[in-house]
Structures are given as structure tokens and as C-alpha cells.
A and B are shown apart, each in its own frame.
Chain A
């Protein structure tokens, strides 16, 4: 089993929670920390958050299930958020999404068989001037073309392979 979050980080969250009057304020931070370490937030991540901050599991789950960028289900090593909002749509997002689906061999909401990529639609990424756009992890890629997508996916695949090799 992958570790949800390293001990030092849990301790540091515990210390912060103890120092403030409203430990709930750290729920999103802690969920994000778990997600960035573990890739997504399993049930145990919700429980860990509740325990670390001294709040109720249901309070964490209420928040976790509200945000679309907290993943409560397993995702691939890279989450691709492809924008389908108006500026991207008007500059060819439908074609971009079709191309992504084709090159990954999956539909929206799915994860590739090798667990490398999860493809999710997203609302506007704040990259409207660089439409059409997508975000991989926390990095935005704009002015997408099929060629640019192929290049980017290739780079990501290589990076994933390197991570595995480590």
C-alpha cells in the first residue's frame, strides 16, 4: 500500500491544527496534500484528515465530495483536465477532446489500462486567451493542436517511465 502522507507532514498538520482556533480551515489543504502524495484520496485519506485535524469524518467527506479537483476515486498517474468551456469550445475543444480520447483510447472519466492517464472534462481553466487548453497535473497547456497534444503525451509518458524506473 502506498503511504497516504509522510509522517512529518501529518505531524506538521497536527501542529498547525492545534495552533489555530478553527482546524476545519485545513481540510482542503490536507486533502490536497494527501492527493499530491498518494494521487487521490481514498476513504482512509478522509479518515486520516479527520483524525489529524480532530474533525468529523463526515465533515471531511462533505467537503471532499464538493470539489471536483479532489479525487475520491483512483486516478491514473497523470490527470488530464481538458477544458470544455466557451472559449475553448469556440476554438475547437470538441476536436481536441476527440483527439485526446483517440490517442489515449479512453472516454471522458476513464483511466488508461496502464494507469498512466485519467481524462476528465473541466470547466474553464483561466487560459481563455490560449484556448483550446488542458491541464495535466497542475500545469496548463494552451493553444492545443493534435500535434502538440501528441508531443505532450509523449513527454508525459517518458516522465512516467522515468518515475517508474526510480
Chain B
């Protein structure tokens, strides 16, 4: 650990730290452009100059390029270094337009900050400036090249970090242009990161354009609700509208970047059909009346039919606090009918993970340091996109990656792919754990045997699984394999992609309670007569929506608490609107068991839109903000339980009575969160799995999570509309040939949900003998719950 002196202050830093970072530890911030903690140092901008007075290097040097060494004496205030920084800024500004008043970056412009910090106030250059023609980069990113200062950060983010392949550096000298070979949408699912990376107004968010001056934007640290990884985000809102999301920083999870689904998937909050008023039997009501009606009707049912006549469905979208109160509510009635995820495969996967992962849990930060990553039935780009970027960073450092999956798994880095039927994944995991591959034929053994050697040789191996394809059994096999393959020298890590941002929290609360399938049985048999849905939609989210919808039709009463225009919200007898997570404080537990807090960004209310119809400013006046009825989910449940709706008090109570949540009392936003203690032991999960089709039949369809736009919240977000695919199926070329299908063909897909016209895609990575189709909302494919398997017919369509 080298010890050095910077501006007369001594500091000891870890080996390998550069002097710029060492100074930052002392709160001395040296202006810089090209250096970025995640991107590393390349020494191109020449801004971070410091004077090295004593030690192994002398003179003015770029502090990002010099590793801290013992005995260095460095000055950031030395006049030569200061003069150089001033010049570098002046040069960088040479071609920069004087358009700050109308620039989209104004208010958070790092160039402006560095210009002030660098001491450059008066541009002496009065010659011609370089100008460029902008490219249309698609729906997410707006380019304004004239503002470019050539810091190379966008391209290092896009190409090097995110693995994008369609953006680069063109030209040379002082006519460098960053862009695509030809105009068009940026293809990387991480493209929005260049907006954050660009220090000035060259690359800005297109959906956010012309909405708000940045100093008017309300921001607060939050957690992304789009998958189970729990990436830090900073949403920004104004005019009662979430207008954008930028990446937050959490070195344990996302690092510095996020995926486009997280960045552009905020618009569900502003959705025009979002139900904002309480309703009783279809009639708008006051919150008080709706709460009272819910309490009374449920109490009456319990009175008449016993405690188990009312059931409760929590969710991975709701806060941990609200989910915990739901449990309290159930126990207040004495009901044992409490489930936390309508998708039973995901439910069992989450519960099994929470029960069994123990010390094998790994964070995305750990993944980035791993040297061997094996993915079993996990498709990161669909199920947890930032995992794909973490894997890429590991690969850049030399890690090896193998994906074992019936689907083609696309990663932004090199990986080996081994196709395997979904039902065989747990078998393979068990076989690997036992070191005995006799369950596989010779050909398969030849493919899988090397995995054992690779795991043995790896120093930091991680097994990754996906809840959709593995279910509870598979995750159990994943955890057992990890323990079996661990040695005293090194443990084998585990990460599983779960259903939603709080799946893990729901799993902890669910314990060994029933699964959704049992609940449906009870509803069918009329033992259960009422269902309370907390931010979940059993009509659509169940593994078998047809069966769910049939059963749910028998309910005498449906209470729905939600922030989205879900089917459950539409059908509810009593509807109670709640806030989206950006409108409230709360906490989630991510797929790694990390407890994280989010804070309110905006208050709920109908977005103020200038329609040009003369409705602004409003001519009618109200006591309250239109559309502001939604309350925080935990607030609503506390009220239902007639408790004090005080978040801190709720958390204290939870921490006191359940040691697994003891850390809630010290939770703080904008930290890296708190990993739940390993010693937490859970009761084992009841081992009741839905029957899986085993794929021995030739026309079996495997449903999967679709890409970016096809998740429920994402589907409600208009900026992502451009990324939502049209219905398609994917097949192995041989399967396709057997059906007489060629890539690009139109085909008619028939399942028990009906017919659908699909485009045929082929992939040699597909397992042979399976038809893959994504769940896509508002299409005939919306009944295809990820991970479910169905009999299907696929016929080539001849042009009508």
C-alpha cells in the first residue's frame, strides 16, 4: 500500500491506484475528461495534470496515467500544472459553440464545470470553428456534433465497455466525428449510456429533449424496477411526469451504467390509462370509502367462511415494506393463503434461492471479477441485462463464459454455447455437482465433461441460473452444485435471475407457504372466495393464464392495489391506486439478497401536458392535484391495517420482530445497499412444481421473456415502443427445415391461446426440436408465460 503526499496531505492507497484517484480520496478533485473509473485511463485529454515534485517520476504528468508509489510528493496547485489545465480547457473549447443558453446539457454540463474548474474564462481563439452534419441515431440518442470536445468517452463506453459494434471514431486531427458507419438506430441494448458518458451536450436523450431545463428537474436516488438486479438509477421528473432516468452509481451492482430498458422504461408511471382513482364496484370512490369497503367485505367473508376464504397475492414489484404488511394483514385474518408471485416457477426459484444460496451469493461486482461464468438457462439480455455487461467486463479480463440453454443466448462478448433441453438443465447441474455424467450419452458427455475441468481450474467461478427455465428444482440443483464444487480454497458462486426487483424480498416473506397453483385450486373449489392483489396481475402473470383466468372467474371478490392499468385493476371489485416506486420511498431486495432503498422523485399527479387545446393553465380549480390520489403501497396497507403510516416506524417494527430484516433500521439510499446476513435460514420450499413439458414431442413451444420492450412495465413505456419486437418464433435450422420453413418466412402459430402470425427466425444455437416464442403483450403471444411449455402447430403461410 503506497503512501504518498498530495498537496501536503499524506494518503495511503491500495496498490495500483492512480494519483488522480489518490487525490480524490483526499477530496482533491483534479479536472479530467478521458479518465473514468469504469473506463480506465488512456491519457488522451491531457487535463489531469499535476506536478510531481519528489519520487520516482518528476515534473508535470497526467495524474491518471501514473500509479501511486511510495514517497511521491505531488502538487495540484503548482502554477505550471494549473497553467496547463487552463490551456487544455481552452483548447478543448476551441471549436465549442457558445450555445450554452439553449444547450440540452445546460445544468449538468461537465464541460462547463471543468471550464470553470480549469480556470478558463475568456476564449482567445476567434477563428473559424469546425462544424459537422449530425446523424440520426434512432429513438434514444440525439446527436449534436458541433458541441464535441473529442474526449473519446462515448466510444470507449459504447464499444469497449458495452460491446456495441455500430459506433466509432471517424476522421482524424481536429475533425474527429463520433458516429455510425451509416445513419440509423444504435443497436446496443446499452446505447443510452453514451448520454451519461458524454460530458457535454453532444449526446443527449431524445425522449427527454425540450422537456425541462435540468435545474428544474427533480431527482432522487432510486432502484430500477425492471428486473431483479437492483441497479441504481436516478430518475428525474417535472410537471408530475417522470421525464428521464440516468444511471446511478453502485459499485456492487450496476457500477456506473444501466441498460436501455431501465433508462427508457420510466414511462409506465405517466401512462395515460394508469388508474389513479379508488373504485368500488366500478364507481369512483374516496380512498376512505374504498379502504372501509375492502376491510368490511373481507371481514364479512372471514366471518362467514373462515380465515382461509380470503387470499393475498403480493408481488416482486411492491416494496418490501408493503409486502410485509400484506403478510400482517393475512395473519390478522388468520389466513394462510399468502403467495408472493403468481408465476409459480419464478416463485419457487426465488424461495429456493433465498433458502439455499447462503454464502455462495455473488453480486454483479463479484461477477465482473470472476474468471469462469457458466449460465444455466439464463438469458441476461432478456432477464437481467446488466448481468450481460458484468459478464463482458469479466471476459475483457480473461474470463471464460459458457451458456447452457435451449435458447440462443446473445452476449456482448465471446461465449461458448451448449444447447440443452430445459428439463435437462437440473439434471446436468446435479451431474456436475456429483462429477458423474453417466446420465448423458457419449456425445453430450464429450460436450459437458470439459465444464468440470474448467470449474476445477477456476479461481472465482460463478454458476448463473435463470428462474424462468430452472424453476425451484433447477435453482436447488444450482445451489447444490455450487456447494458440491466448492473447495476449501475457493467457493463456487451462485447468481440467479429472478422475476422482479423484489422477488427475493417476497421469497423471504413467503417462507414455505403455498404456491399460486394451490391457491388456484382453492379458488376453483370455492374455499377461497376473495383475493387481494398487491401490484400483481394473476390474470396475466400466472404460468398458465388460461387456467388462472378460469379459476379467478369464481372469485366473489377481487381487491386490486396497483399503479398500472393491469387486467386485475380493470376487473377489481375494489381498486386502490398506489404510487409507482419513483413516487415513494421504500426498499427492495435484489436477486443477490441485497437490501436497497429508493426515495421519492416526484409526487403523483396527472402529467401536465401542453396539448395546444387551450387547457393550460387550467380554467377549473381543484383543492387537490388531479390524479394525486395514489399513495405509497405501504401507506395504503398500514391504513388498511389501521396502523400508523410511518415508514421509519414500520421498518423499526419489521427489524425488531424478524431478524432477517434487522438491517432495515440502518438502511440508507445512495449507498451500495446491504447484503442480508448469510446466517438467515429459511424453511425449505414446498416441492410442488408445475408439470414441465419435457420436449420429447416435436412441436413443443418454449415461451421466454422477450427483449427490452416486452416486459409489463417496459411495455407501458412509450420510449421503448421502438424496441418492442413483432411476434416471432425461433427454431434450429434442422427443425425449421423439417417444417419447410426458411428464415424470414411468415408462419401461422397455433397454441391453445389461439392463432398468431409470426416471423420465422433461425439460430444454430437453438436446441433442436423446440419452437421458441417470446411473451409479447397485446399480441396473441401474451399468454406465453416465460418458462412455460406448450404444444403448438407451426405452418408456413403462403402469401395471401
Which chain B residues lie closer than 8 Å to A60 at the CB level?
181
Give Cα A163 to B182, complex, Å: 34
* A60 vs B182: C-alpha distance when bound (angstroms): 12
- Is A43 at the interface (CB under 8 A from chain B)? yes
A62 at the interface (CB under 8 A from B): yes
Q: Smallest CB-CB separation from B170: which chain A residue? A: A65
A57 at the interface (CB under 8 A from B): yes
Q: Give Cα distance in the complex from A46 to B168, angstroms.
A: 14
Residues on the A chain within 8 Å of B181, using CB: 43, 46, 57-58, 60-61
A66 at the interface (CB under 8 A from B): yes
Query: With A43-B182, A46-B181 in contact, do A58 and B172 touch (Cβ < 8 Å)?
Result: no
Chain A residues near B180 (CB, 8 Å)? 58
Closest B residue to A47 using CB positions: B181
Cβ of B167 and Cβ of A65 under 8 Å apart?
Answer: no
- Does A56 count as interface, using CB distance less than 8 angstroms? yes
* CB contacts between A and B, total, < 8 Å: 27
B136: interface (CB < 8 Å): no
**Complex: how many Å from CA A58 to CA B166?**
6
Known A56-B165, A58-B166, A58-B167; contact A66-B172, beta-carbon cutoff 8 A = yes
Q: Chain A's nearest CB lies how many Å from the CB of B467?
A: 34
| A56-B164 Cα distance, complex, nearest whole Å | 11
**Complex CA distance for A46 and B170, rounded to whole angstroms:** 13
Q: Does B169 contact A (CB under 8 A)?
A: yes
Q: Does any Cβ of A come within 8 Å of B171's Cβ?
A: yes
Residues of A within 8 A of B171 (CB): 65-66
- Residue ID in chain B nearest A46 by CB atoms: B181
Assembled-state Cα–Cα distance A59/B165 (Å): 9
- Which chain A residues lie closer than 8 Å to B169 at the CB level? 62
Q: Give the distance in Å from the alpha carbon of A56 to the alpha carbon of B165 in the complex.
A: 7
Closest B-chain residue to A64, C-beta based?
Answer: B170
CB pair B182 A65 closer than 8 Å: no
By size class, the interface of chain A is 10 to 19
A62 x B168 contact (CB < 8 A): yes
Cβ of A71 to closest chain B Cβ, rounded Å = 14
User: How far is A59 from B167 in the complex, measured between Cα atoms in Å?
Assistant: 9
Interface of B: prevailing SS? loop
| Distance A56 CA – B177 CA, assembled complex (angstroms) | 18
A42 CA / B360 CA spacing, docked (Å): 55
User: Which chain B residues in 122-167 approach chain A with CB under 8 Å?
Assistant: 165-167
Distance (whole angstroms) from the CB of A53 to the closest CB of chain B: 15
Q: How many Å lie between the Cα of A58 and that of B159 in the bound state?
A: 11
For the complex formed, measure the closest distance between the CB of A26 and the CB atoms of chain B, giving whole angstroms: 18
A123 CB, nearest partner CB in chain B, Å: 12
Which residues B453-476 have CB closer than 8 A to chain A?
none
Name which of A43, A58, A62 has the most chain B CB atoms within 10 A of its CB: A58
Of A56, A60, A61, chain B has the most CB atoms within 10 Å of the CB of: A61
Interface string of B230-267 (1 = CB under 8 A from A): 00000000000000000000000000000000000000
Chain A 63-75 interface 0/1 with B at a Cβ cutoff of 8 Å (1 = within) = 0011000000000
Minimum C-beta distance from B799 to chain A (A) = 30
Within 8 A of B (CB), among A97-125: none
B170 engages A62 (CB within 8 Å): yes
Q: Complex Cα distance A65/B180, Å? A: 12
**A57 to B168 Cα, complex, angstroms:** 10
| A94-B181 Cα distance, complex, nearest whole Å | 36
- Distance in angstroms between the alpha carbons of A96 and B169 in the assembled complex: 35
B163 to chain A: closest CB distance in Å?
Answer: 12
| Interface residue from A46, A58, A61, A66 paired with B165 (Cβ < 8 Å) | A58
Residues of B within 8 A of A46 (CB): 181
Taking CB atoms and an 8 Å cut-off, the chain B residues in 675-732 that contact chain A are none
Chain A residues within 8 Å of B165, by CB: 56, 58
A62 to B178, CA, bound (A): 10
Alpha-carbon gap, A61 to B168, bound state (A): 8
Who on chain B is nearest to A58 by CB? B168
A50, closest chain B residue (CB): B181
User: When chains A and B are docked, how far (Å) is the Cα of A56 from the Cα of B170?
Assistant: 14
- Rounded to whole Å, the gap between the CB of B560 and the closest CB of chain A is 49
Q: Which residue of A lies closest to B177 (CB)?
A: A65
Q: Mark B398-426, 1 if CB is under 8 A from A, else 0.
A: 00000000000000000000000000000
Where the two chains meet, the residues of B that have a C-beta atom closer than 8 Å to any C-beta of A are 165-172, 177, 180-182
Known: A58-B180, A61-B181, A65-B171. 17 other contacts (CB 8 A): A43-B181, A43-B182, A46-B181, A57-B166, A57-B181, A58-B165, A58-B167, A58-B168, A58-B181, A59-B168, A60-B181, A61-B168, A61-B170, A62-B168, A62-B169, A62-B170, A65-B172
Ordered nearest first, which 6 A-B pairs have the shortest CB separation? A58-B168, A65-B170, A57-B181, A61-B181, A62-B168, A58-B181
Chain A to chain B contacts (Cβ below 8 Å), 10 pairs: A58-B165, A58-B166, A58-B167, A58-B180, A58-B181, A61-B181, A62-B169, A65-B170, A65-B172, A65-B177
